[in-house]
Amino acid sequence: MKKYYLTTFFMVLVCACLVGCAGKTVQKTAPSFEPYKFNANQYASKVDNFVVIMDASFSMREKYGLKTKGEIAKDFLTAMNETLPELGYNGELITFGPGNSIKLEYGPTRYSTSGFEAALNATHKPQGNTSRPLVKAINAAAGDLKPSQGKIAVLIVSDGERVEATSVKAAEALKKQLGDRLCIYTVLIGDSPVGIKVMDQIAKTSGCGYSTTADRLASSGNVAGFVEGIFLTKRVCKPVAKPKPVAKPLDSDGDGVTDDKDQCPNTPKGATVNAMGCWSFSAMTLFAFDKAEINSEAHPVLNDAVRILKSNPKLKVEIDGHTDNTGPAGYNMTLSERRAKAVMKYLVDNGVNVGQLTVKGFGFTKPVAGNDTEEGRAQNRRVTLKPVK
C-alpha cells in the first residue's frame, strides 16, 4: 500500500511539472529589427537641432526581460538612428552616469547616421552606484544649445529611477531659455512607477513633447512613427501647372475659314468660299478667257447660290466682278462688270428676287494673288458674292 501511494505521488508531481512547463513559453532571442527607410526626397526636417541624453548609470545594468536596460536603450537609439534620414539637422549625444559625471559622446555637429552610430557604439556600459546626474546633462545641453538657431528636440532615454526631482526644474529652465523652439521627449526603459512619473513630468515641461516607452517602440513601424512625428514633415509638392489650353480660333459663320483669316465674316451657311472666307466663284470656271458668258459646267455651283438666296429671302448680296491685269485697266473694269451682271442674270432667271442683288466691277484693282504667274492670274479672275445690310 505504501509503495502504491509513493508511485501515485511521483506521477502527479511529474504531470504538474509538465503542465507548468507547457504553460510558459521561454523567449530565447529578441525579434530582429528591420528599419523603415524614409524617402528623403519626400520629407523636410521639422527640427534644426536635436540632443539625445542617455542614462548610463548603475540601475541601467539591471535586467528587463531578455536584456539589461542599458542594452535596450542602445538598441532603441540604434533603431532610431537607422530610421532617421539625413536632412541637415545638427545632432548631439550626452550620457550621464557614475560619479555624478556626464560625457559628450557626439556633436554638436551636422548629423550623420554613421557618425552617430560610431559614437553610440563607443559609449561605456552602465556603471556606478547611486549617482544620477540628469540635472547636469540637461544643463550641459542648455549650454550647447544656447547659440543654436531654429527648432530643437531633446530626447531623454532612461529608466527614471532615482532621478533627482530637480531634473524637472532643470527641464523647466531649459524651456524658459529656448521658448517655443524646444520640445522635450522622454523614452522610459522598464516599467518603474517612479520612473514613469518623473519621465512624464519632464516631458510635460515643454508643452509640446510627450513621454513614451521603449516597449511601445519595439517595432520598426512604431520607431518610424516616432521619428516622423519628431523630426520630419512631408514636403508640400507644388502642383505642376498645366499648360493653358490654346483656344481654337472661332469660325463664327461656319464656312470653314476661322475668324482670324475670314475677310467675309457674314457668309451664309452652305456657301462656297475661297481661302479668305468669301463667297466666291472662279472666273476660270464661270467664263472662258476674255468672255462674259457663263460656262455650262459652272451651273452646279451657281445653283447652290440660287438655293441659298431663295432660302434666305432677306439676304442681300453684292455681286463683285474681278479680273487679272492682262490688258488695259478700262477694258478690264468693263469686263468685270459684264461678268458680274451675267451672274446676276443667271440668279434672277432661276428664281432669285432681283431686289436681293446688286452688281459692281473692280477690274484688276483688288487682286488676291500675284499676277506674275498663271495660277495667280486665275485666282484674280473671279466673281464673289458679298452679303450686305
Amino acid at site 215: D
Q: How far is CA 374 from CA 325, 326, 369, 380, in A?
A: 11, 11, 10, 10
The pLDDT score that the predictor gives to residue 6 is 41
61 contacts: CB under 8 Å, gap ≥ 6: 68, 69, 70, 125, 126, 127
pLDDT tens profile 62-89 = 999 999 999 999 999 999 999 999 999 9
Domain regions of the chain by residue span: 34-234, 279-388
Length of the chain: 389
Task: Name the band, by pLDDT with cuts 50, 70 and 90, for residue 2.
Answer: very low
Task: Name the band, by pLDDT with cuts 50, 70 and 90, for residue 161.
Answer: confident
pLDDT tens profile 193-205 = 999 999 999 999 9
Whether the pLDDT of residue 265 is over 60: the answer is yes
Query: With contact defined as beta carbons under 8 Å apart, do 165 and 146 qualify?
Result: no
Nearest C-alpha neighbor of 54 from the set 163, 167, 137? 137
CB atoms inside a 10 Å sphere around CB 172: 17
More confident residue, 262 or 187: 187
The pLDDT score that the predictor gives to residue 84 is 96
What fold is seen in the domain 34-234?
Rossmann fold (3.40.50)
The arithmetic mean of pLDDT across residues 270-297, rounded, is: 75
Q: Radius of gyration (Cα) for the chain, nearest Å?
A: 49
The pLDDT score that the predictor gives to residue 131 is 56
Rounded Cα–Cα distance for residues 313 and 163 (Å): 105
The pLDDT score that the predictor gives to residue 224 is 93
Domains 34-234 and 279-388 share a fold: no
Considering only the top CATH level, what class is 279-388?
Answer: alpha beta
The pLDDT score that the predictor gives to residue 13 is 41
243 contacts: CB under 8 Å, gap ≥ 6: none
The pLDDT score that the predictor gives to residue 144 is 94
Cell of 165: 526631482
Whether the pLDDT of residue 116 is over 60: the answer is yes
Cell of 320: 463683285
